[in-house]
Structure 1
Amino acid sequence: MACTSCSTSTGGAPKGCKNNGTCGTDSCNKLTVFDWLANMSLPNGEAPFDCVEVRFKNGRKEFYRNTEKLTLSIGDIVATEASPGHDIGIVTLTGELVKIQMKKKGVNYNGADVSKVYRKASQKDIDIWSNARDKEEPMKVRARELAILQNLQMKISDIEFQGDGSKATFYYTAEDRIDFRQLIKDFAKEFSTRIEMKQVGFRQEASRLGGIGSCGRELCCSTWLTDFRSVNTSAARYQQLSLNPQKLAGQCGKLKCCLNYELDTYMDALQDFPDFDVKLQTEKGTAVCQKQDIFKGLMWFAYTDNYANWHMLKIEQVKEIIAENKQKNKVSSLEDFAVEVVAEPTQTFSNAMGQESLTRFDQPKKKKSRNKNRNKQTAEARTEGGPKQGGGRNDRNRGDRNENRQKSAEGRPQRAEQSEAKSNAPKPNRQENNRGKAEQGEAKPRPEGERGPKPEGQAGEARQNKNRNKNRRKGNNSNKNNDPKS
């Protein structure tokens, strides 16, 4: 029941009115009521009902009498009577439906104790009201600190300012009675305003604050549930739920209100069932009930000397055995009455879209080959043993590499033999050669400090050594290029 300004836009994204619960239709607030009599006109001569329903913070609603005959509609901000001063609220319901709501909540609409609506709120009233609302959150933090300093076993859950800012109501929860007389004095000194303390229950606290339940939806008590019925553990037993307090308790710490929703259906179904504590007398021994399936009408029994084997019986067969036992007759065994368990046929689903595997996105994508036809032709040629046909650039490069690899393999033994011969040959001593050449007169030693052209014999030998080293480097580079390992 959202208003038109909160509806979904054409693009699919929710627009949202961004009024934070103060939009005109009041349909996105807590405990809202749909006025299904709004479009109906009153009979001639019938005056409209003079009471309206006004909502305050966190779903607190009160009924007020429109003594000034103001034209009020849902969403109007009005100034109402309070003690002392006045309060500011939003009109949530008008017309004949207010009379039904007052009768439902036990309020006498003809009584004199119904407060009045003063006027529609002016801009000044709204500014004072909004400024007071802004003070509530930091005041709640400070109030909790003061309560902790006095070692009071209480929890301040919410603070609500009056519309004119003259009074602040502190809502708290506690297990026992609390002596907060000194605390009120500290609050009045700290906040400089009139203080009112109001104790609420744990369920009322959850309804005021709101939240998300274990079902994933908003709490029922804060959205539509107005009365809190008592919930017992017997409701969980009738529905055959495990008595686990962590699962059965809500955010308020009490049993969940939703345990009562289906209880009536279970109670109606259990009327046809025999008592759970019934014992069946057979010739093999006494059998006791272990389990029930309420909606299928089945009960499981086991012998007292063998609890491992259960026998499934229908409630009609159980009633028949009980009737025999009342006549002091024992049946032969439970196996004669047990229902055969028929295996349900397993449905086989075809993985048409390949969406059954949870790890289908973990596998890397396969690269698409650009030349599929060429690869097919080369594959066929390889299988047939014939020459490659239609090979691309990759095939030609592969063939060139194979040829270079064969040439390098052929020339590798010769180069190995030459390197071994060079390494085994004795190296000439340069000093002895120079000394012999000097004795023969071919070369003369150069005097120290003299720079000039080298003798012809030494120059020729140096030139030969230079050429030899150059050829050796060329040979090493050619070997590296031809070697496939490099």
Structure 2
Amino acid sequence: MGCTSCGTANGSKPGGCKSNGGCSTGGCNRMNTYDWLRNLPIADMDSHCNVVEVSFNKGTRKDFFRNTTVHFFEKGDLVTVEGVSGVDVGEISLTGEIVRLQMKKYGVKEGNPEMKKVLRTATERDLEQRGINKQREPEAVIRSRAIARQLKLDMKISQVEMQADGRKATFYYIADGRVDFRELIKVYATEFKVKVEMRQIGARQEAGKVGGIGSCGRELCCATWLTEFKSVNTSIARYQNLSINQTKLSGQCGRLKCCLNYELDTYLDALQGFPNDCDQLEVAKGRAYLIKKDIFKNLMWYSLPDSNKQYPLTIERVRKIKSLNRQNIVPEELEAVEVVSTKPKEVEPAFVDVVGQISLRSLERADKKRKQQRRTGPPQGNQAVAANQGVQGQQQKQGQNRGNHRPQQRNAGNKPQHQNPQRRRENNNNSNKQAN
């Protein structure tokens, strides 16, 4: 969803659109935050928060600015703020008391004297200049990658963000280790005529900036709401009894999916009820090895060396067998429980012969007409004469039409020039019989 679809290309600001929000609600931005303190009444204007949160580049970058103007900005307003050696244009994403909570979350102090300020509401000139500089970004990405390749630097330029006035450019790059880009900065400054800032990001941050649709069918979490990236390893998948399949567990960034961490705490809490020292059990048939733990049914699955079958055991049975093994007692059987599935069994539909059930209306009409003629028989008397006259009239019309199209090939009459006498005699006899 973009501003061109909801009618804000000409600077207007609708109250909402059909794409689950509008520019007033922040629905067109990434990393949008719901202002649940918006309706809180202002008790004292002196204690009111004068800091606003401004988002840049469709919400991929956010920063805090002090509002020193007399204007009261709302969410979705375009403002001109202080930049590096110039000005920048952004969009108000949060105002009011919730900004203080966001500043506390990111460790920003409200009374910081180095905090930049909001200059004014963005003018048409500011928006036009920002649009011109934003058009330079795709070309700058291609050119910057070529320069980095010429200098033989082990890095990848992911994105280039131009400041609204075109005086500064931020180059986001990905690298496995440290990169000496001192010579690269000089070349970039000479090539693009801007002040260069290099920022290293990871593969997850790159996926958040690019965006996309995940395997779940929804937008990527890193592109919509996830701001803190926690480490994900294969042990998390083992706790959840997931098969270690790199293609299924990896996201669009090539790393393990962040959503593997979402249910990890639930699994860890449920696994506390399972015994930890029961990886092996001694029975009469041999040594049974633990395969997996089912936290939903509170079962532990074991396998014996002489068969490929897996045996589900209850937690009480496992503890009892383990206590017997400590007393050097080997039980005869594992006493596996029977797992009954509550899922309804799908019944396959039987073969149905549909031959003769599908017919066309035109064929049905022709069949009905044919059956009616068989019942009534051939026409007799005056009906036969009328039918013969109707047929002759149609033939005459067809002959006239042919004569109009081909006047040189036909005579003035409808009859041909030459006709076999025997054929003419047979036609006369047939017409006399029909008349009788």
2:359: which partner in 1? 366
For residue 31 of structure 2, give the secondary structure of its aligned residue in structure 1: coil
Give the distance between the partners of 2:65 and 2:82, measured in 1 at CA: 8
Alignment check: 8 A CA contact 1:276 1:289 kept: no
Please give the alpha-carbon distance, in whole angstroms, between the structure 2 residues aligned to 1:361 and 1:217. 41
The aligned counterpart of 2:168 is 167
1:392 aligns with 2:372: yes
SS in 1 for 2:308: strand
Aligned ranges 1:80-229 → 2 under 5 Å: 80-229=81-230
Q: What letter matches 2:132 in structure 1?
A: N
* CA drift at 1:104: 0.6
Q: 1:198 and 1:360 mapped to 2: Cα distance?
A: 68
* Structure 1 residue aligned with 2:312: 312
Q: C-alpha separation between the residues in 1 aligned to 2:376 and 2:270?
A: 83
TM-score scaled by length of structure 2: 0.75
Which of structures 1 and 2 has the bigger CA Rg?
1
Partner of 2:47: 47
Relative to structure 1, the CA distance from residue 261 to residue 348 in structure 2 (aligned partners, 3 Å threshold; closer, same or farther) is: closer
**Is contact 2:311-2:336 (8 Å) kept?**
yes
* Structure 1 position 338 matched with structure 2 position 333: no
Alpha-carbon distance between aligned partners in 2 of 1:360 and 1:100, rounded to the nearest angstrom: 69
Deviation at 1:169, TM superposition (A): 1.1
User: 2:388 aligns to what?
Assistant: none
The CA deviation at 1:139 is 2.0
Cα deviation, residue 95, structure 1: 0.6
Amino acid at match of 1:203: R
Which position in structure 2 is the counterpart of 1:444? none
CA shift at 1:143, angstroms? 2.1
SS of residue paired to 2:169: strand
2:65 corresponds to which residue? 64
1:67-87 CA-to-partner distances (Å, cap 9, x unmatched) read 234321111211212221121
Deviation, structure 1 residue 162 = 0.9
> Higher helix fraction: Structure 1 or Structure 2?
1
Equivalent-residue separation in structure 2 for 1:220 and 1:348 (angstroms): 35
Aligned to 1:231: 232
Cα distance between partner residues in 2 of 1:392 and 1:97:
84
Aligned to 1:35: 35
What are the residue-to-residue correspondences of 1:215-364 with 2, within 5 Å? 215-275=216-276, 278-304=279-305, 306-334=306-334, 337-342=335-340
Structure 1 spans left out of the alignment, 5+ residues: 7-14, 379-390, 399-468, 476-486
Q: Which amino acid aligns with 2:137?
A: E
Q: CA deviation at 1:300?
A: 2.1
SS at match of 1:273: coil
The residue type equivalent to 2:28 in the other structure is: C
Residues 168 and 196, structure 1, Cα contact 8 Å, conserved in 2 = yes
Are the structure 2 counterparts of residues 126 and 472 from structure 1 closer, same or farther at C-alpha, using a change threshold of 3 Å? closer
Which deviations, in whole Å up to 9, do the C-alpha atoms of 1:334-372 show, x marking residues without a partner? Answer: 2xx2213457696577x9xxxx79999999942242388
Q: String of CA shifts for 1:125-183, please: whole Å, max 9, x gaps.
A: 22111111121122222222333333333221111111211111111112233333333
> Matched residues in 2 for 1:113 and 1:240: separation?
50
Please give the alpha-carbon distance, in whole angstroms, between the structure 2 residues aligned to 1:472 and 1:35: 99
Number of positions where the alignment pairs a residue of Structure 1 with one of Structure 2 = 375
- Amino acid aligned to 1:370: R
TM-score (norm 1): 0.68
- Cα distance in 2 between the residues matched to 1:204 and 1:343: 43
Query: Aligned partners of 2:225 and 2:60: how far apart in 1?
Result: 10
In structure 2, relative to structure 1, the CA distance for the partners of 1:343 and 1:76 (3 Å cut) is closer
Give the counterpart letter for 1:47 in structure 2. S
User: What is the identity, as a one-letter code, of the residue corresponding to 1:96?
Assistant: E
> What percent identity do the matched residue pairs reach?
45
